[in-house]
């Protein structure tokens, strides 16, 4: 299945005058299209590297992201994550012929979550806790016989 995500670019989440939790008052939600469906990623940027913290989906991006700025667990995770600029990535999705948003939004969200977990990032899930991961280390006298990396992450 082909799903097209149009990324709008990086939106900076800057600290308000009273600290990070005051940032909702200073964030320009007009940057996010009204009533657009898509996915969004709260992240930290370190130089050219972007570290995702939370991946979500929404039928109405602007409304959902406003709600997320009031999610104490999520905002605490964004504030307490490693150093770097706090950013929000927003991608709009429009259903192609023979597709419905109700089916493609969850697929797009899961694909981005799986890609982040496969890359080794610990995401904050819906309950505000870290996504559980397990490290599996491959041992043995012939490591070259195993087709994968010697250390892989498996999510629970």
Domain architecture of the chain: domains with CATH: 5-131 (3.40.1440.10)
Structural contact between residues 54 and 109, judged by C-beta atoms closer than 8 angstroms: no
At residue 21, the pLDDT reads 64
At residue 20, the pLDDT reads 65
At residue 19, the pLDDT reads 62
Q: Which long-range contacts (CB under 8 A, 24 or more apart) does 12-15 make?
A: 12/85, 12/86, 12/87, 12/88, 13/42, 13/78, 13/86, 13/87, 13/88, 14/86
CA distance 128 to 72: 9
Q: What is the pLDDT along the chain (156 residues), one digit of tens a residue?
A: 889 999 998 998 876 556 666 666 778 899 999 889 999 999 999 888 899 999 999 999 999 999 998 888 888 888 887 778 889 999 999 898 999 999 999 999 988 988 888 888 888 865 444 555 555 555 555 544 444 444 444 443
Torsion of CA 3, 9, 79, 74, to 10 degrees: -30
Phi and psi torsions of 110, nearest 5°: -60, -40
At residue 43, the pLDDT reads 92
In this prediction the pTM is: 0.77
User: What's the distance, CA 45 to chain centroid?
Assistant: 12
At residue 27, the pLDDT reads 85
């Amino acid at each position: 299945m082909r799903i097209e995500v149009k990324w709008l670019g990086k939106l900076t989440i800057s600290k308000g005058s009273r600290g990070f939790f005051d940032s909702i008052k200073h964030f320009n939600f007009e940057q996010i299209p009204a009533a657009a469906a898509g996915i969004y990623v709260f992240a930290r940027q370190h130089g050219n590297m972007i570290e995702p913290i939370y991946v979500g989906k929404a039928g109405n991006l602007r409304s959902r992201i406003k709600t997320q700025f009031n999610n104490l667990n999520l905002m605490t995770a964004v504030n307490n994550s490693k150093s770097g600029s706090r950013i929000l990535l927003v991608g709009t999705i429009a259903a192609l012929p023979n597709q419905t948003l109700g089916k493609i939004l969850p697929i797009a969200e899961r694909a981005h979550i799986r890609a982040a977990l496969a890359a080794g990032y610990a995401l904050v899930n819906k309950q505000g806790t870290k996504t559980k991961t397990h490290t599996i280390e491959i041992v043995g006298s012939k490591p070259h016989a195993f087709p994968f990396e010697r250390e892989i992450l498996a999510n629970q």
